[in-house]
Amino acid sequence: MNIPVISNPLHSYPTVCILVTSNQVLALYNEPTLLTQQDSLKPNAAYPVIRQSGTSYYVYIDQFYGGWTAGSAGSISGACSNLPGTTPSSVATAVALANARVWSSPGVSTGTWISTLTQGSQVTILSGPVRGPISYSSNTEGDWYQVQQGSVVGWVWSKRLSLNAVPPAQVAGTAVALENARIWSQPNVRTGTLLSTLAVGASVQIIAGPVVGPIRNDNDTMGGWYQVG
């Protein structure tokens, strides 16, 4: 049986937003502020763009893995005018309250404590809110925000922040489940719990994302995660 293969380049489809990289190897980052490099993009290659934050774009390397890169990394073409994300004028900030601890994931029982913010200091809101555990001794959950302060990026419980004009959460749209689309309690296969598996072809609503987190137990490969409902 011969399976037809579509060989047209990505940039030939006007309904997809595409970043075509320059002739240099370019960095791929964990966050839109481009602080922590996680991988590289090949030169003279086309990558689908799914989200924008200021002048940074979130691109997919393959079906399960992606990251942020600068808009100056190459040329943008296609359906890019309505990408979900934020513009510089709508970037949200917050002020740290007492005991504002930064965690590696949105949950005290699943994440690792990174640092504690100085009370009264300002942080930039990168994403959120996302529901997650706030106590070791109970199943109580709360809202968490992914924040950045200098080189520190992590998650802080909303009750430890004084939010300044946080824009409403943006719904990216809907998605159709592919094979082996598993739902996890956290954007992390190592610390999250497997909740269920979506039926192939099932439609889901995108609530938030993408958030970068581990996608394998046997190595450090990271990928973009979406919260769905």
Q: What is the mean pLDDT of residues 22-29?
A: 80
**Cβ(77)–Cβ(15) under 8 Å?**
no
The CATH number for 54's domain is 2.30.30.40
User: What is the identity of the amino acid at 193?
Assistant: T
In a domain, 4, yes or no: no
Q: Residue 127's pLDDT band (boundaries 50, 70, 90)? A: confident
In a domain, 220, yes or no: yes
Q: In the predicted model, is pLDDT for residue 70 greater than 70?
A: yes
100 and 67 share a domain? no
Task: Give residue 160's pLDDT.
Answer: 93
103 and 140 share a domain? yes
148: Cβ contacts below 8 Å, ≥ 6 apart: 31, 33, 35, 123, 124, 126
Would the pTM of this model clear 0.85, i.e. be above it?
A: no
In a domain, 141, yes or no: yes
Task: Give residue 170's pLDDT.
Answer: 45
In a domain, 5, yes or no: no
Q: Residue 16's pLDDT band (boundaries 50, 70, 90)? A: confident
Q: Residue 228's pLDDT band (boundaries 50, 70, 90)? A: confident
Tokens read off for 25: 């190897």
158 and 101 share a domain? yes
69 and 137 share a domain? no
Among 24-28, 35-39, 67-71, 139-143, top mean pLDDT goes to 139-143
Task: Give residue 44's pLDDT.
Answer: 86
Q: Residue 34's pLDDT band (boundaries 50, 70, 90)? A: confident
Angle at Cα 100 formed by Cα 98 and Cα 146, nearest 5°? Answer: 150
Expressed as residue numbers, the domain containing 55 is 10-86
89: Cβ contacts below 8 Å, ≥ 6 apart: none
Q: How many CB atoms lie within 10 A of CB 175?
A: 15
76 CB-contact burial (10 Å; exposed 0-12 / middle 13-18 / buried 19+): middle
The 3-state secondary structure of 155-193, one letter per residue:
EEEHHHEEEECCCCCCCCEEEECCCCCEEECCCCCCCCC
Higher confidence at residue 14 or residue 100?
100
Task: Give residue 220's pLDDT.
Answer: 65
Q: In the predicted model, is pLDDT for residue 104 greater than 80?
A: yes
Tokens read off for 77: 């073409």
Domain boundary among 86, 116, 144: 86
Domain boundary among 36, 58, 86: 86
Task: Give residue 9's pLDDT.
Answer: 46
Task: Give residue 171's pLDDT.
Answer: 44
55 and 100 share a domain? no
Q: In the predicted model, is pLDDT for residue 5 greater than 50?
A: no
Q: What is the mean pLDDT of residues 5-23?
A: 62
140: Cβ contacts below 8 Å, ≥ 6 apart: 133, 134
CA–CA distance, 7 with 19 (Å, rounded to integer)? 18
Question: How many structural domains comprise the chain?
Answer: 3
Gap between the terminal Cα atoms of the chain: 38
In a domain, 65, yes or no: yes
In a domain, 3, yes or no: no
Q: Which residue has the tokens 């006007």?
A: 14
151 and 180 share a domain? no
Q: Residue 157's pLDDT band (boundaries 50, 70, 90)? A: very high
In a domain, 57, yes or no: yes
Q: In the predicted model, is pLDDT for residue 89 greater than 50?
A: no
